[in-house]
Structure formats: structure tokens, C-alpha cells
Chains A and B, each alone.
Chain A
Amino acid sequence: MKTPKISIRDLKLWYGESEALHGINVEFVENQVTALIGPSGCGKSTLLRCLNRMNDRISGCRIEGEVLIDGDDIYAPEVDVVQLRTHVGMVFQKPNPFPKSIYENVAYAPRIHGLAEKSSEMDELVETALRRASIWDEVKDKLNSPGTSLSGGQQQRLCIARTIAVQPNVILMDEPCSALDPIATAKIEELIDELKGEFTIIMVTHSMQQAARISDQTAFFYMGDLIEFGETGKIFTQPEKQQTEDYITGRFG
């Protein structure tokens, strides 16, 4: 067993009065793809957003328990949220490039974090990030055109490039392919497979085929509880719980 990158211990979360997560205990392994599956409203996106404290923005959201990344509790009072998010990047459901040039989209975060001093360094950084997101060849001749002019799948890969330009060690993906067509989805999946050598990837997905295709571990959530967690192959072939089986065989959800 590899070392756990992220350990979640007895995590409870409330939106106002309603409890959305009822004490989650789980460990995510380094440099693997973990898929979070489950029906809508089961808390998988909520859990994902706990990992870079995106839930902090929601008023009335309260958390109990621990989330350890590399052994450090990210909810400890001395933790700087801004700094945390440079280690834990995020790709969203709907591609959301900034309405700026393709170059600026990638260069923005390195610039605010001071990762490149000279413009030649920045050019290099942008190129590396775009190459690693396998979009360099498609955009290298139009780096100054707006990021929003790209197709949906290209936009999503641009968003991934933007995220890896900060050199995080964890990347959270919230249904990254749900707004894309099958061809664009295949490209993103291929990309995720390449990226997992360097990053720990946690991905929420609605598509069970997708989870089966690209993830190493799968966690099944239902009504704010973690029902089952384990090797993807095992979850999809011999699930231990009846609920898991019902869900993956399409009996509900």
C-alpha cells in the first residue's frame, strides 16, 4: 500500500442546519486517480470542495473533523487558504477560462505567486504547462487570442494547463467532462492518465464508465455517507455493499 496523501478523519459538514456529510473517514493515495461517485446531492462535490477549502466561501457552512494533506490539518487556524490553494489546484465542471488571452490565462497564477521573474521564464512556464495539458500544438500560433474563443474541450484543457502552471501536488476535478462531447472527453481522460504520474488527482464524476476507465480507487457516496471505498476494479466487479451494487448496475441513481 502506498502512503496516503490525503487523510480525512471523521469529517462532518453542515450547510446551515442541514448536515451534508456525516463523518467521512477516507485516505487518498499519492499519484493515483481517485473517483468519487454517487447520485446527485450525495455530498461528493461537497467533499471535494473541502479539500481546497472552497466551501469557506459559502456562508453558513460549518465543518468538524480533520482533513490532513501530507500530515498537516488544512483546517488548522494557522493555515493560509491562499497558500493551500496553490498546493491543491481545482478544475471545474464548466470550463471557466478568464476572458483574457490564452497566454494570460496560464500566466496569471504564476505571476501573482511570483513563480517567474523574467518574461522568458514566463514564456517557458506557459509553454510547459500547455504542453503538459496536451493543448500546446493547438494553441501555439494563437496565444494572444481570447481563451473563450476555444472549443469546450480545448477550454477545459486550458483550465487544466492553468491549474498545473502553479505546480500543485493535488488536483481536484469536479465533473471535468460533464459539459463536453465524447471526443473531447476522451482527450481529457487521456490527459488525466498522463498527469497522474505527477499529481494526486481526486475527481468527481457522474459517469460510472469514466470512473471505471481512468480511476485507480473509487469511493461511492450516498446521502452524505461514504458507503464503500476501494480499488476501482473491485468496486465495479465485486462490491461488498448491496447499495453500491445497485448503483453501479443502474438500479437507481
Chain B
Amino acid sequence: MSLQINANMKRRYAAEKRFKAYAITALALAGAFLIFFFTDMISKGLPALQQAEILVDVHYNDTSMKSYKKAVDKPYRSIVSRGYLRTLPLYMEDHPELMGTDQSQWVITTGDVDQYLKGKPNRLKKRHQKQIDQLLSEGKVQLAFNVGFFTNGDSKMPELAGIKSAVIGSIYVLLLTIAFALPIGVMTAVYLEEFAPDNRLTQVIEVNINNLAAIPSILFGLLGLAIFINFFGAPRSSALAGGLTLALMTLPIIIITTRASLKAVPDSIREAAFGLGASRWQTTWHHVLPLAMPGILTGSIIGLAQAMGETAPLLIVGMMAYVPDAPGSILDAATVLPAQIYTWAGESIRAYEERTAAAILVLLSVLLSLNGLAVYLRKQFERRW
């Protein structure tokens, strides 16, 4: 008898060990994928933080004013960024004191020169390659920190393209989403959980809210298009239309997490307050909501982070437009970070590849910090009762 049990024990331990091994393998696999993804993104994205510059004499005079190409000497014309040269006439208008002078300064090169210097595939002609090699040995070409990536909007010339307009668009959209979804969502949940009677109607509402949370996000885009743009006439591509659409999408998540956090507040707290003669509203506002706050904040931040990374519904309301200038108000055409990534990923010019990866890194760090904030708030507010 005991012999049989001993034999069984061996088998049971073996099975347990196997099970543990499966779990560890799964974890290791997930970790490997994550590490692979991050190394790939970082190795692709980091070069975008540097930008090739060249030391040339820039002629500030009337000739350059009429034809911006003539601001630099002929041999440099095809390796200096055309996009930069184009901005010169305006710059000269703003700085008349420079007129008639020649300034030796670092200016950004074309995307091809940049890619050539970074050893990446490019379409730089042989003679220009030689010219760059020559300039490099003279120390007149360098890779410098790419300030433009953070201070420029989108551009059709990769060396000038930056994420500023997308970041500002994302901030507008996020603020609008918070402004609409958070109060409406929390108040809805408070009503359903603390005030509404438990009847057929509220049950139907509850089921529908749960279903809404599982609807493909692109449908919210169609809804936003129909309601906010076609019916209420919000400007197409505007942060207003996008923010409202994302607010619609985030609402069910906020309602569900808020209800769960309200449910988690022990009923003894409500009884204590009611027993002292507090009204329903006082009970909820003074006691239940503060206790549910950490859960509500965590859930809402995760919902908002999800909204921030969302692209599909924004495509429908026109927020993947080419937006070179940062939006000045919520009514201007704007784009958001994920939409910018989508646009760049579709570009045929190779220099956009590293910018796409760098923009993904920026988006990821924002999302990670949002999730970090959620964890921090939960720890901060967590209390026992």
C-alpha cells in the first residue's frame, strides 16, 4: 500500500516539475519577445536622435532672397537640405541686420547624406559620397543632436520631419478625452451603483455598457464621424472631434472600473454614514468616493492610456491628415502620435524608418509613464478599512 503511494508521489512530483517548467518557458518566451521588440525599436530609433549637419557659408543677400538656392555655394546645393534653404527668405525678413553678410554655420543636410553617414541604405550619388567623405575628413560634416525631431512638425522632407505637432495634438486630444469621459463616466457609475434601483432597466443598461467596452474601436470612429462631425458640425480632423470620439470609446472602461471600485468599498462604511443621518449624496461624496478614488484613478488612467495609443477611430474622423504645423486650438486640424507613426511607417523614403521607430519610443515612454503613474497613485491612496 505505502509502496504504491510512494510510487504515486514520484509521479506527482514529476508532473509538478513539468508544470513549473512549462510556466517558466512561457514566461521566458514572453520576456524574450519583449526584449527583442525593445532592442529592435531602440536600435532603429536611437539614430533618429542624431542628424547630419554641414558647415557652410550662408549668404544673406538679395540674390538669396529671390532664389533661396543661391544662399549656399553651388557644390553644396544638392547636399544641404532644400527644406532648410526654403526657410531662409522668411528668416532674412525677420533678421534684416544679417543682410549683406556671409555666415559660416552648421546647417542640416538632406536625408540621403544623413543616412549615408549613418551607414544606412540611401540614394546618394557617388560624387556626393566622395564630397561627404572629403568634408568629413576636414571636420565639416558631423552628426549632432536632432533638436528638430522635437521642435518641428511633420514634413515631406525626412530631415525636417518632427513630432511636435503630433505631440501637441495628442495632448489636446487627451485633455479633451479626460474632460469629457472622466466626469461623465464617474457620475454614471456613481448613479448606477449608489442611487439607481436594481431593476430590469438598470440591468439592461449594465449589460449594454459591458458590451460597449468590447466593441471594435473603429466603430467608435464611425459613431464620432456621424455624431460630432456630420450632426454637430465639429471641424474634421480637429482635436475636438478626435477627443470626443476617444471619450466615447473610453467611457465604458471608466464606468466599469469605477463601478468595480465603488462595489469594493465595504457596505459597513455606507451603513455608518447612513446611520449618522448622512444623506445618500453625502455618504457617496464624503465616504464612498474617496475610498474608491485609487481604483477609479487607476482604471481611468489605464483607459486613457489605451485611448492615447488608439489610431483606428481617429483615422475615421480624419486625424491622420498631413499636419506640418502644431494646432493652435482644439478646432484646428491636428494629428496624434500613433497616427503620425502610421503615416511615417507608410512613407517610401528610407530616412523615415528611424523616425518612425523614434516616435514609437516616445509613445511607449509616455504610455509606460502613464501606467507607472497609475501604479504610483494606487500605492499612494491605498488604505485599509
The chain A residue sitting closest to B276, CB to CB, is A109
- Would B384 and A82 count as touching, CB distance under 8 A? no
Determine which of B275, B278, B384 lies in contact with A54 in the assembled complex, contact meaning CB atoms within 8 Å: B275
A38 near B: Cβ within 8 Å? no
CB distance from A74 to the nearest CB of B (A): 13
Which of B210-218, B264-272, B340-348 lies at the binding interface?
B264-272
Give the interface size bracket for A toward B.
20 to 34
Tell me, yes or no, whether A187 is within 8 Å of chain B by CB: no
Give residues of chain A (36-90) contacting chain B, Cβ–Cβ below 8 Å: 52, 54, 57, 59, 82-86, 89-90
Tell me if B269 and A82 are in contact (CB < 8 A): no
Q: How far is B276's CA from A159's CA once the two chains are assembled, in angstroms?
A: 10
Beta-carbon contact of B277 and A86 below 8 Å? yes
Q: How large is the interface on B (under 10, 10 to 19, 20 to 34, 35 or more residues)?
A: 20 to 34
Q: Is A94 an interface residue (CB 8 A)?
A: yes
Interface string of B374-385 (1 = CB under 8 A from A): 000000000111
Q: A59-B198, A98-B287 are in contact. Are A163 and B268 (CB under 8 A)?
A: no
Q: How far is the CA of A94 from the CA of B275 in the complex (A)?
A: 14
Task: Check B268–A54 contact: CB distance below 8 A.
Answer: no
Q: Does A249 contact B (CB under 8 A)?
A: no
In the complex, the number of residue pairs spanning A and B with C-beta atoms less than 8 Å apart equals: 65
Q: Nearest chain B CB to A181's CB is how many angstroms away?
A: 20
B268 touches A109 (CB 8 A): no
| Cβ contact within 8 Å between A98 and B269 | yes
Name the residue of chain B whose CB is nearest to the CB of A86. B277
Contact across chains for B277 and A159 when beta carbons are under 8 A apart: no
Instruction: A159 to B269: give the CA distance in the assembly, Å.
Output: 12
Chain A residue contacts of B383, Cβ below 8 A: 99
Interface centre among B271, B272, B276, B291 (most CB of A within 10 A): B276
Does A140 belong to the interface (CB within 8 Å)? no
Give B384's nearest chain A residue, CB to CB.
Answer: A148
Interface assignment of A162: CB less than 8 Å from any CB of chain B? yes
Out of B277, B291, B384, which one reaches A109, CB within 8 Å? B277
Residue A166 CB within 8 A of the other chain: yes
Near B by CB (< 8 A), chain A positions 71-130 give: 82-86, 89-92, 94, 96-99, 108-109, 112-113
Residues A85 and B269 in contact, CB atoms below 8 Å apart: no
Q: Is the CB of B197 within 8 A of A59?
A: yes
The A-contacting residues of B in range 266-310, CB under 8 angstroms, are: 266, 268-279, 282, 286-287, 291
Contact B384 A96 (CB under 8 A): no
Cα–Cα distance between A85 and B279 once the two chains are bound (Å): 10
Say whether B277 contacts A85, CB under 8 Å. yes
Tell me which residues across on chain B come within 8 A of A84, comparing CB atoms. Answer: 277
- Cβ of B279 and Cβ of A82 under 8 Å apart? yes
A-side contacts of B272, CB under 8 Å: 92, 96-98, 159, 162
Cβ-neighbour of A99 out of B197, B277, B291 (below 8 A): B291
Q: Which chain B positions have C-beta within 8 A of A162?
A: 272, 276
Which residues on A sit within 8 Å (CB–CB) of B286?
108, 112
Complex: A92 Cα to B268 Cα, angstroms: 8
- Given known pairs A59-B197, A59-B198, A108-B286, the reply for A96 and B276 (CB within 8 Å) is no
Q: In the complex the two chains form, what is the Cα distance from A129 to B198 in whole Å?
A: 38
Q: Is the CB of B384 within 8 A of A108?
A: no
Structural contact, B277 and A96, CB atoms closer than 8 A: no
Residues of A within 8 A of B384 (CB): 99, 148
Q: Which residues of A contact B287 (CB under 8 A)?
A: 98
Residues B297-347 near A (CB distance < 8 A): none
For the complex, give the distance between the alpha carbons of A210 and B252 in Å: 51
Contacts of A148 in B (CB 8 A): 384-385
- Are B291 and A82 in contact (CB-based, < 8 A)? no
Instruction: Pick the contact of B276: A57, A59, A85 (CB < 8 A).
Output: A85
| B residues in contact with A97, CB < 8 Å | 272
Residues of A within 8 A of B268 (CB): 92, 94, 96
- Contact call B278/A99, Cβ cutoff below 8 A: no
Give per-residue flags for A157-197: 1 if the beta carbon is below 8 A from chain B beta carbons, else 0: 00100110010000000000000000000000000000000
Cα A94 to Cα B197 in complex, Å, equals: 26
A109 and B271 within 8 A (CB)? no
Assess the B385–A92 pair: CB atoms within 8 A.
Answer: no
A89 to B286, CA, bound (A): 19
CB closest residue in chain A, given B272:
A96
The reply to whether B277 and A82 contact each other, CB–CB distance below 8 Å, is yes
Q: Which residues of B contact A98 (CB under 8 A)?
A: 269, 272-273, 287
Task: Provide the bound-state CA to CA distance between A52 and B291, in Å.
Answer: 25
Contact B385 A99 (CB under 8 A): yes
Pick 18 A–B contacts, CB within 8 A, sort by A.
Answer: A54-B274, A57-B274, A82-B279, A86-B277, A89-B276, A90-B271, A91-B275, A92-B275, A96-B266, A96-B269, A98-B269, A98-B287, A108-B286, A112-B277, A112-B282, A112-B286, A113-B277, A166-B276
Residues of A within 8 A of B (CB): 52, 54, 57, 59, 82-86, 89-92, 94, 96-99, 108-109, 112-113, 148, 159, 162-163, 166
Other 15 A-B pairs with CB < 8 A, given A99-B291, A166-B277: A57-B270, A83-B277, A96-B271, A96-B272, A98-B272, A98-B287, A99-B383, A109-B276, A112-B277, A112-B278, A112-B286, A113-B277, A159-B272, A163-B275, A166-B276
Interface residues of B, Cβ cutoff 8 Å to A: 197-198, 266, 268-279, 282, 286-287, 291, 383-385
